[in-house]
Structure 1
């Protein structure tokens, strides 16, 4: 799909998801009024490099939506998990349209994941959980549960393991 077609399809998707909320577009940016006087800008791109990355993720979103089996979904989650290992967002250091649309595309996948699987894909789960907590971005999608501590530590519940460092702890005076 041509980049302009991807952008047009993405803008149309945003308008559908946000029920016709105010969405203004320029050649370099999109600003979305998410209500309560809050506007999200910079959601398309800021630089040429960001623009190219956003457009790649928008293409990838179409691939995610075409997945038909669990094995393919797990492979995608593994790829995204590796990508997000040292990132908070997909492009740059702030929320972009790539994050919003990927969140909406991945919701159906995350809805069926066990807590163990969410932990297995910890980086993409962290990103997903972060995005889903903005109810204005979540819209009508359900808030999915996540756990904050590891479920499977490899130790039985009847034993306690204590790690002691060989370094001396500082004494309080």
Structure 2
């Protein structure tokens, strides 16, 4: 999964002359004259050389970006069961409860990576599943319209109609 996501990130960032490989279960990224080992380091190498603002604009955002990249590598990409994946989704959903993006209020590479990882799953979700993870759905709908992502990934439909009779909640 790590190699696939790094490849997708390099396409989104339009990085030229990048070599991505696996060695001893670690992703190796060679971009320009830099070689990095490890998922988070490889992603940050691509970002710093092409779109440095995606790392975060403040020290807090940068720390949160690093934290989410590590979380992806150690937890999200390693889910072996539905329960483990559901736990990851719950953590992401809770993190998005109080802010519009994973690291605050502006898009970082952490948002891009999580979007790329979740896209194949969310594209298959029913409207009921999308409603179950409302914060992820709101964030995902925002992210899929991002200039980096809208050209390379299919749009996922989100319902704007009332799903259940008798409820006063608007969608």
TM-score range normalised by the length of the shorter chain: 0.5 to 0.7
Aligned to 2:149: 137
User: Structure 1 85/149 Cα, relative in aligned 2: closer, same or farther at 3 Å?
Assistant: farther
Per-residue deviation, 1:41 = 5.0
Contact 1:30 1:41 in 2 (8 A): yes
- The question of 1:151 aligning with 2:146 is answered no
Contact 1:119 1:150 in 2 (8 A): no
State the alpha-carbon separation in 1 of the partners of residues 79 and 125 from structure 2: 15
Aligned length: 141
Aligned to 2:83: 71
- The question of 1:118 aligning with 2:130 is answered yes
Match of 2:48 among 10, 30, 40: 30
Structure (1 or 2) with the larger CA radius of gyration: 1
TM-score normalised by L of structure 1: 0.65
Q: Structure 1: any 5+ residue segments left out of the alignment?
A: 1-5, 33-39, 162-173
State the alpha-carbon separation in 2 of the partners of residues 26 and 58 from structure 1: 9
State the alpha-carbon separation in 1 of the partners of residues 56 and 78 from structure 2: 25
Contact 1:88 1:127 in 2 (8 A): yes
1:92-121 CA distance string (max 9 Å, x none): 221111111111011122122111010111
User: Structure 1 69/113 Cα, relative in aligned 2: closer, same or farther at 3 Å?
Assistant: farther
